[in-house]
Structure 1
Amino acid sequence: MEQYSFDQLPRAVSELHQKLDVLQDLILESRQAVPPAVELMTITQAAEFLNLSVQTLYGKVCHKEIPVSKKGKRLYFYKSELEDWIRSGKKKTLAELKQEFPAMVRTGKGKLR
């Protein structure tokens, strides 16, 4: 380990700071490069995540109302697919509907039947 004199300390601290910046950038880049883990859930975990009973979830699977994967006799749910399923049921607010209304009228989609 190199010994520094008092006059050399500012330069050494500056070099150390630059090296820390490089390390920090590398760590941040590596975190961004790692894709998010695919979270696979059992029916019990999915029911808990959705705040539904297992029986209700089986009913939704039976009626093909919810995304599910089946391997053998087991059912599996991807958390991302369940989150997308929840988002697909979002009801628009009055403000969103008012904002879309002029475009609907122009395209003819706002006509009552």
Structure 2
Amino acid sequence: MESNEISFENLPKAVAHLVSEIAIIKLLVEVKQPQQVPQKRIPIDITEACQIIGKAKPTVYTLVRKRLIPCYKNGKKLYFFEEELLEWISKGRKKTLQEIESEATADFKKNFRKTSAEFNLKSKL
């Protein structure tokens, strides 16, 4: 419905049209997920990297020299990306005793079945 068609006589039609349009817009807004703005990968220097991982500069230089930490070098400067550092930290997670025990039990059960089946086969021959 165009704005030049609105008059006192067709005002109820115009209001009904606007109500339906608002309902459609409301539905679209409710359904739409919040837009995630892609973060720019901004490199950080060694000072910021030290703060993120909680290590001293000489320690970070040693980790870089041993190629244990993700980094980039341009000329004489080292650069890091915060996401990569956080991922590097999370990969170093130590398992709890309970996790180690459950994995060991699962491996033992799996291997026990294999060895007992092989033993039964050999004894039949």
TM-score scaled by length of structure 1:
0.68
Q: Identify, as 1 or 2, the structure richer in helix.
A: 2
Amino acid at match of 2:20: S
Map 1:12-31 → 2, pairs under 5 A: 12-22=18-28, 28=33, 31=35
Deviations 1:7-58 (A, max 9, x none): 75354223112124335656x47x24x5443242111111111122223212
Partner of 2:47: 44
How many residue pairs match? The answer is 105
Map 1:76-91 → 2, pairs under 5 A: 76-91=79-94
Deviates more, 1:47-56 or 1:34-43: 34-43
Q: Identify, as 1 or 2, the structure richer in strand.
A: 1
- The alignment's C-alpha RMSD in Å is 3.0
TM-score scaled by length of structure 2:
0.63
Gaps of 5+ in 1: 109-113
Contact 1:43 1:76 in 2 (8 A): yes
Partner of 2:117: none
Is the radius of gyration larger for structure 1 or structure 2?
Answer: 2
